[in-house]
A and B are shown apart, each in its own frame.
Chain A
Amino acid sequence: MPDTRPTTPAALPTSQGIDPRSPRFGAAITSVLLAVTLLLTLTRGTEAVGVALLAVLAVVFAWGGFAGIRRHPYGVLYRRFVRPRLGPPAELEDPAPPTFAQRVGLVITAAGVVLALLGVPWAAAVAAALALVAALLNAVFDVCLGCLMYVWLVRARLT
């Protein structure tokens, strides 16, 4: 009986598919930076640094969300330094889901920055915490929360 799990890497042409481990690697970096952001926004005297770091992360999310996940700076790091140490991926993945997830990350972090600049208390910390949950789920459990949220948008008829 043939195995039902696809094992061929030819699921998508190389020009279209991405290595699914690349977004997870990026999510791991994002998780560390968001954890640092959260600590900074909650420490007296470093709140402004935390908001600034959150703004930098929002720019990186915008990069991945609009230039496309394949042009993401962490993706470049992955291909340069991590991929050569791993075997080839079991299969390639459509770049649309992680690209959409980057936009979700942009909305959350940008909202945190804007609300923090407007003086809303805890806005940066809450945004960093929410984004950290999503990034950690992606990095550790391979769960793409941003991808799941797309269905919720469909249900709310917002797409």
Chain B
Amino acid sequence: MLVLLAVVVVTVVMGLVMRSRAGRARPAAGDVVGVAPASHFGEKATLVQFSTPTCARCPATARQLDALAARHPGVARLEIDLTERPELAARFDVMQTPTVLVVDSALAVRSRFGGQPRPAEVTSSLTAVLDQEHTGA
């Protein structure tokens, strides 16, 4: 009985930690040069989504990011199936799908989301990139 209780407690702690971290913006470095042809990137910013065929939240994330990109001219969404590009999973240290990168016009990674991004956080990440592009900073 104690063992069962311990397993349940460990699971609940794991679940709470995963839930609190899922979809939050994290600062990120690096760039996405060479990930896709230049024409696939947005003029001002790109939402790069890493997916896999067995990813439960990837289709919903794709629709969410498409809607977000549609509201901001010059922003594109780029979805990459990691089973076709396994080397990218190692390069970007992807441990879960979807993983979303907010990338600026110079293809530098500005923020990163593990799991389906929280709408308010991905919007503010994108807005921060666009504001900076606008002011030319």
The DSSP consensus for interface residues of chain A is helix
Q: Is the CB of B4 within 8 A of A39?
A: yes
Q: A5-B119, A39-B1, A93-B56 in contact; A155/B14 too (CB < 8 A)?
A: no
Q: Does B67 contact A (CB under 8 A)?
A: yes
Interface assignment of B123: CB less than 8 Å from any CB of chain A = yes
Mark A1-26 against chain B: 1 for CB-CB distance below 8 A, else 0.
11011100001100000001000000
Closest beta carbon of chain B to A60's beta carbon, Å: 19
**Contacting residue for B60 out of A35, A91, A152, CB 8 A:** A91
A4 CB to nearest B CB, Å:
5
A148: Cβ under 8 A from any B Cβ:
yes
Q: Name which residue of chain A comes closest to B70, CB basis.
A: A2
Contact B19 A141 (CB under 8 A): yes
Tell me the bound Cα distance from A11 to B94 in angstroms.
26
Who on chain A is nearest to B65 by CB? A4
Is B30's CB within 8 Å of the partner chain A? no
Q: A11-B63, A96-B53, A155-B89 are in contact. Are A35 and B4 (CB under 8 A)?
A: yes
Query: Which residues of chain B have C-beta atoms less than 8 A from A1's C-beta?
Result: 71
Chain A residues with CB under 8 Å of B127's CB are none
Identify which of B8, B16, B18, B59 contacts A136 (C-beta below 8 A): B8
Q: Are A6 and B63 in contact (CB under 8 A)?
A: yes
Within 8 A of A (CB), among B18-73: 18-19, 52-56, 59-60, 63-64, 67-68, 71
Q: Once bound together, how far apart are the Cα atoms of A97 and B97, in whole Å? A: 11
Render A118-149 as a binary contact track against B, CB cut-off 8 A, 1 for contact: 00000001000100110011001101100110
A contact residues, range = 35 or more
Residues in B neighbouring A91, C-beta threshold 8 A: 60
* Chain A residues within 8 Å of B123, by CB: 4
Encoded as 1 (CB less than 8 Å from any B CB) or 0, chain A from 41 to 60 comes to 01000000000000000000
Contact B94 A96 (CB under 8 A): no
The 6 closest A-B pairs by CB, nearest first: A141-B15, A100-B54, A97-B56, A150-B54, A97-B54, A136-B11
Q: List 30 A-B contacts (CB under 8 A).
A: A2-B67, A4-B64, A4-B68, A6-B63, A11-B59, A11-B60, A12-B59, A20-B56, A38-B3, A97-B54, A98-B56, A100-B54, A129-B3, A132-B8, A136-B8, A136-B11, A136-B12, A136-B15, A137-B18, A140-B12, A141-B18, A141-B19, A147-B56, A147-B97, A150-B54, A150-B97, A151-B82, A151-B97, A157-B86, A159-B83
